[in-house]
Amino acid sequence: MSKLFIVPTPIGNLEDITLRAIRILKESDLILVEDTRYTAKLLRHYDIKTKMKSHHKFNEHKIIPGIIDRISIGEKVSLVSDAGTPGISDPGFLLIRECLKNDIEIECLPGASAFIPALINSGIPSDKFHFEGFLPHKKGRKSRLESLSSLNTTMVFYESPFRLVKTLDQLIEHFGAERIASVSRELTKIHEETKRGTLHDLKEYFSKRIVKGEIIIVIGGKD
């Protein structure tokens, strides 16, 4: 049966993929990927020979009609991101929306997502949380932080290693230096690290280090 499969891929450790995901990728007629060079490593590792096609934020509007046509005539198409679950701060929403408009079945597999282990590892309450993803880089950043500062639930942010210290400084400005938080990086990889403490502690720690890897910041809600 033709359909669109949403397939999570490992966020670092190649072992973090399900048997079902491997089977689906092998059975698909086409795999949509952010970066063919990156996903090719995963496909080679599991001897997956399915053809790939680039699908990213710069071309998704252009190629989606063609993908809809391919699924409509009977093909199975899988969507992956470079790492984790497509649609979570990665391309995917537009394609999913168009498939639904065209009565195309969608099957989303469970799997890796960076913010879940970071949230649980933080030691900060995880029964309720707000996932913010990436903050605006410039316009609207200050007002967004101001609105979030009053939330009383745990918050989760994605950030670049190059902006981490600056972001911690801004979080201190709006949330207060003593707000409890954690920073996780290189999850599932050899140099995995989660540092916990106040926002002040975290800024002091990471200001003295060269930071690498994708960053997840978890912040406790306002008391």
Cα gap 11→189, rounded to integer Å: 9
Q: Give the C-alpha distances (Å, rounded to integers) separating 155 from 2, 62, 180, 198.
A: 38, 34, 11, 14
Residues in the chain: 223
Cα gap 106→36, rounded to integer Å: 23
pLDDT in tens for each of the 223 residues of the chain? 689 999 999 999 999 999 999 999 999 999 999 999 999 999 999 999 999 999 998 999 999 999 999 999 999 999 999 999 999 888 899 999 999 999 999 999 999 999 999 999 999 999 999 999 999 988 899 999 999 999 999 999 999 999 999 999 999 999 999 999 999 999 999 999 999 999 999 999 999 999 999 999 999 999 8
Assess whether the region 3-108 and the region 115-219 belong to the same CATH fold: no
Tokens matching residue 103: 């009565």
CATH of 3-108, picked from 3.40.1010.10, 3.40.30.10, 3.40.640.10, 3.40.50.300, is: 3.40.1010.10
- What are the residue ranges spanned by the domains of the chain? 3-108, 115-219
CATH superfamily label, 115-219: Tetrapyrrole methylase, C-terminal domain (3.30.950.10)
